[in-house]
Amino acid sequence: MADVSGKHFQRIKKIIESNNAIKRSTSATVKQFQALYQDFIAAISTNYEHLGTVKDVADIFLDEEKMRLLEQFEPLQNVQLAVCGYNSSGKTSFLHDFLGCGKFLPTGTGATTARIVKFSYKPADETYIREVDSFLTMVEQENSRTDLSAYFADYERARKVNVKG
pLDDT at 58 over 70: no
Distance between CA atoms of residues 32 and 26, nearest Å: 10
Residue 85 lies in a domain: no
Average pLDDT estimate for 64-87: 73
| pTM summary value | 0.41
Expressed as residue numbers, the domain containing 109 is 91-164
154 and 99: one domain? yes
Residue ending a domain, choose from 72, 99, 126: 72
Residue 156 lies in a domain: yes
For residue 60, the model assigns a pLDDT of 60
Determine contact, residues 94/4, Cβ cutoff 8 Å.
Answer: yes
100 and 159: one domain? yes
- Per-residue pLDDT of 108-131, as tens digits, reads 776 666 667 777 777 778 877 777
- Per-residue pLDDT of 29-52, as tens digits, reads 989 998 988 888 887 776 666 555
| Backbone φ, ψ for residue 62 (5° rounding) | -75, 140
